Structure 1
């Protein structure tokens, strides 16, 4: 077989069946109830017990008057209860709205308003942060996990553990995933049962994980990647070794403790792990494959050589599925080729395909029914703008080599990726503009030693103001999540502008020698003052 045919076979995928996640779970609860789905510390969660808990929670929510299509926000920590909640909503067609547990202030308020949330399941530890949000918009159902009145425990105690009476179809919308807000406010990506299963199927293809194998599960479940791993473990009959959070210093030890053969990385995970002191755990972990997206090309071989793993890189995005392309050949730095469900092209600003080697916008067209871009929640204009002649415009830059392999070349959108999280410039800038001494603000990304980007903010102060960076950051700390806090602050008298008076961000300096640095300042923004 020729190299081209081998590569074609490597990315060929079966169609995404009409069998829903609900139907798969119902069947596995009967056929394989004793298999271990997840471990969490000393807790062992077998599939039959998981499914029964999922059914109890789903039936309890229906008993409270919620119906398929209602939007339910989840703001929960990394815990098996979060897994149960995700699957319970999916089983009955309730639309999951994930909420990042780090959000505060306007960033926390936004998803409730923009995505018309009907109900909320939240950990009681977030009650203080949620109080202003809930004061403004009464919900049809509010369920706290923990605290004085543990409503979630009541859901788990519901007497009916049978499969619920209602269920979604394969193309029903069962989640709204907040986009990174790359051209303004974050948009809600509509996700169907089919698209939420397709991403995990791509994970199984990329990892070649076999039934019974264990994955180290460290991902946040408000992130699409985390949910995809949960579903992949169902579809592939895998076991999850769950830890509470990612730890760079204990990454390989944790993998060894849970018996993982494969580990997932995002963005800065590999640079952070590579920066750890060398030790015996580097090679004694038993992991064979590290899979994910965003491995810096210059670190590809160093990671493989130091840790004895094979890098499996791919590319995906919220608007489509977890992986649209996969690299099965090991070509350094490449995101591979599209799965057979998609066609990919590198295009210029007018939508014309570019020749090999040229950098342009990466675009996708779905070849499999139901796997195209399904749109943004109640935002027809943004939905139409994302498409051109049947192609979804990612806003990301790429090039393609003579072999047809794709290489990520940067982001054309107004966002940055910091420590695995997409950060909208708009979200940060709108908080800064509420400061009485800030006239204008512009955010850009600057290179980070961890392989992604850090936030640099440019501030034009109000006339007569002598606002200083430390005071500004102290003011910001209670109003935005930690991961949105700028590291670098620079003050300007004027901004370069387009003829329509938009700030030309491409002309703002990326150097960090002429600005204030939070990390070297010794400032703790959470301390009172400012």
Structure 2
């Protein structure tokens, strides 16, 4: 009996909660079934297996072996997915490169992890042209000549252990330099098992995949069809204007949401959303209690809000009861505590840091690449300290509040930027908002709110402040307001706040106007 079998199904005799046996078993048993559709074109398990064999042969030609790092800067696509599967079977380390990075960010990543091979597509040539140092070896995906491989050739794999590194996932770098999360084969398997539970998929479901594969939100979906009889319906990137036609073409049943995706969909004109559609479930993170019912009713889907982070194999909790605004409770193999700065449990209803533990080995990152200080801060005493804050109600359900580093201290209160932003994006004229802390002349901090208005719409800051007065506590009310034409965001649509100026000279001051 495997130690983890109490929590996870043992899928094959060789299964040790890893990836390679799962891939081999799936390709062997589901040959004629559809694995995915990319831009409406179906690919079966057998067709993907053949492409993966050719990718593996090409990697061998390039001298790539187990443990070698291979960086990929590619949009979603069939060859991209086949190359990832091939890297898994080879035991090489996949390094996803954020496709929004410019030359300085790419240079940092390449200098930090030093991949043996960098595979990119021509659309990113301008960014690569500005690199401080060119990659050791660069291959353009459109110029790869894949070797021919017999269709009946066996799908071989290197002897890869669950604790071996599968990929290096670099954090978004919203504060400080990005950290390379060492993500093991077991962590990817757990992330995929978590996806099945959180999304509540079942045989015959069709999962809409818009997330970039260089983000854990997309990467964790690659194994789901090997766990359940579902298919992936993949597009190159998210487009609000094309979303509903794409869902209709795919007959998709499940949508993963991150950042402001659901807000964007709710801001579309009502007439572009079909009166009847196939989507049943939205699963992900980012829906506040205030917006909960409005989103459910507008989109006509059930919400399964969850919480997690890359360092913890993606998923930690899930709300499977539908309680408004809650991130639910810990997944079966995890234990969640809310602790104060002295590592003491906080009382019910009080704010505490989410700290996670498990009796299943390998749930959490072994460390950040070449960053022992950050590794020691994240993992202490066998527990994962997330840096995220939450409250627990009397029923034992959790409510996400925000990053410990994305909060402000205002008049003796800890204020979550996330809670403020979720209120303002409910205003009919606002497309996006970002709250940050700025210095106060009387100590602690004041709140400054950046506001991006919807196209063709605007509201005075005085009117916004009055609108917010009945919706936020006094200590949550922004003092300063600034208009933003657009925000620079991460791949998960989170605003890169460290790029926002703290200069108050051009800001509208609520206090100054209130005193007139």
Give the structure-1-normalised TM-score: 0.75
Q: Which residue of 2 aligns with 1:41?
A: 39
Aligned pair 1:323/2:315, yes or no? yes
Distance in structure 1 (CA, Å) of the matches to 2:288 and 2:494: 24
Residues 56 and 156 of structure 1 are in contact (CA less than 8 Å); yes or no, is this contact kept in structure 2?
yes
Q: Which residue of 2 aligns with 1:454?
A: 434
Q: Which residue of 2 aligns with 1:81?
A: 79
Distance in structure 2 (CA, Å) of the matches to 1:287 and 1:360: 35
Equivalent residues in 2 for 1:493-512, closer than 5 Å: none
Deviations along 1:168-189, whole A, 9 cap, x unmatched?
Answer: 1222111111123365211111
Deviation at 1:483, TM superposition (A): 6.9
Residues 182 and 414 of structure 1 are in contact (CA less than 8 Å); yes or no, is this contact kept in structure 2?
no
SS in 1 for 2:311: coil
Find 1:239's aligned residue among 205, 209, 231: 231
Q: Which residue of 1 aligns with 2:446?
A: none
Aligned pair 1:136/2:133, yes or no? yes
Distance in structure 1 (CA, Å) of the matches to 2:64 and 2:41: 31
Deviations along 1:460-517, whole A, 9 cap, x unmatched?
Answer: xxxxxxxxxxxxx99x99xxx9975988645369xxxxxxxxxxxxxxxxx95369xx
Q: Which residue of 2 aligns with 1:274?
A: 266
> Structure 1's 322 and 80: CA in aligned 2 closer, same or farther, altered over 3 A?
same
Aligned pair 1:14/2:14, yes or no? no
SS in 2 for 1:395: strand
Residues 174 and 191 of structure 1 are in contact (CA less than 8 Å); yes or no, is this contact kept in structure 2?
yes
Equivalent residues in 2 for 1:348-427, closer than 5 Å: 348-413=340-405
> Structure 1's 359 and 483: CA in aligned 2 closer, same or farther, altered over 3 A?
closer
Deviations along 1:155-209, whole A, 9 cap, x unmatched?
Answer: 3646695323524122211111112336521111111111101111111112221
Deviation at 1:454, TM superposition (A): 3.4
Q: Which runs of 5+ in 1 are unaligned?
A: 1-11, 417-443, 460-472, 494-510, 516-530
> Structure 1's 254 and 513: CA in aligned 2 closer, same or farther, altered over 3 A?
farther
> Structure 1's 72 and 346: CA in aligned 2 closer, same or farther, altered over 3 A?
same
Between stretches 159-168 and 22-31, larger displacement belongs to 159-168
SS in 1 for 2:181: strand
Q: Which has the higher contact order (CA 8 A, sep 6+)?
A: 1
Residues 206 and 251 of structure 2 are in contact (CA less than 8 Å); yes or no, is this contact kept in structure 1?
yes
Distance in structure 1 (CA, Å) of the matches to 2:175 and 2:126: 30
Distance in structure 2 (CA, Å) of the matches to 1:109 and 1:280: 42
> Structure 1's 483 and 167: CA in aligned 2 closer, same or farther, altered over 3 A?
farther
Deviation at 1:414, TM superposition (A): 5.8
Residues 76 and 212 of structure 2 are in contact (CA less than 8 Å); yes or no, is this contact kept in structure 1?
yes
Q: Which residue of 2 aligns with 1:310?
A: 302
> Structure 1's 248 and 512: CA in aligned 2 closer, same or farther, altered over 3 A?
farther
Residues 267 and 293 of structure 1 are in contact (CA less than 8 Å); yes or no, is this contact kept in structure 2?
yes
> Structure 1's 457 and 390: CA in aligned 2 closer, same or farther, altered over 3 A?
closer
Deviation at 1:340, TM superposition (A): 1.8
SS in 2 for 1:249: helix
Deviations along 1:229-248, whole A, 9 cap, x unmatched?
Answer: 12213322311122222122
Deviation at 1:453, TM superposition (A): 4.8
Number of matched residues?
436
Deviation at 1:265, TM superposition (A): 0.8
SS in 1 for 2:130: helix
Residues 260 and 494 of structure 2 are in contact (CA less than 8 Å); yes or no, is this contact kept in structure 1?
no
Deviations along 1:23-68, whole A, 9 cap, x unmatched?
Answer: 2222222222111111123421111111111121122212321111
Residues 40 and 250 of structure 2 are in contact (CA less than 8 Å); yes or no, is this contact kept in structure 1?
no
Aligned pair 1:223/2:218, yes or no? no
Between stretches 56-65 and 92-101, larger displacement belongs to 56-65
Distance in structure 2 (CA, Å) of the matches to 1:324 and 1:254: 30
Residues 218 and 246 of structure 1 are in contact (CA less than 8 Å); yes or no, is this contact kept in structure 2?
yes
Distance in structure 2 (CA, Å) of the matches to 1:486 and 1:119: 31
> Structure 1's 458 and 61: CA in aligned 2 closer, same or farther, altered over 3 A?
farther
Deviations along 1:295-345, whole A, 9 cap, x unmatched?
Answer: 122111112122221100111101012211111111111111111211101
Deviation at 1:73, TM superposition (A): 0.5
Residues 398 and 408 of structure 1 are in contact (CA less than 8 Å); yes or no, is this contact kept in structure 2?
yes
Distance in structure 1 (CA, Å) of the matches to 2:9 and 2:26: 21
Give the structure-2-normalised TM-score: 0.77
Distance in structure 2 (CA, Å) of the matches to 1:60 and 1:215: 30
Distance in structure 1 (CA, Å) of the matches to 2:260 and 2:507: 20
Q: Which residue of 2 aligns with 1:155?
A: 146
> Structure 1's 103 and 116: CA in aligned 2 closer, same or farther, altered over 3 A?
same
Residues 56 and 159 of structure 1 are in contact (CA less than 8 Å); yes or no, is this contact kept in structure 2?
no
Residues 455 and 486 of structure 1 are in contact (CA less than 8 Å); yes or no, is this contact kept in structure 2?
no
Deviation at 1:111, TM superposition (A): 1.1
Distance in structure 2 (CA, Å) of the matches to 1:322 and 1:86: 18
Equivalent residues in 2 for 1:58-77, closer than 5 Å: 58-77=56-75
Residues 35 and 44 of structure 2 are in contact (CA less than 8 Å); yes or no, is this contact kept in structure 1?
yes
Distance in structure 2 (CA, Å) of the matches to 1:450 and 1:78: 29
SS in 2 for 1:341: coil
Q: Which residue of 1 aligns with 2:508?
A: 513
Distance in structure 1 (CA, Å) of the matches to 2:322 and 2:436: 34
Distance in structure 1 (CA, Å) of the matches to 2:284 and 2:345: 27
SS in 1 for 2:125: helix
> Structure 1's 333 and 484: CA in aligned 2 closer, same or farther, altered over 3 A?
closer
Deviations along 1:406-462, whole A, 9 cap, x unmatched?
Answer: 11011113699xxxxxxxxxxxxxxxxxxxxxxxxxxx9983754775387989xxx
Residues 455 and 487 of structure 1 are in contact (CA less than 8 Å); yes or no, is this contact kept in structure 2?
no
Deviation at 1:282, TM superposition (A): 4.4
Q: Which residue of 1 aligns with 2:442?
A: none
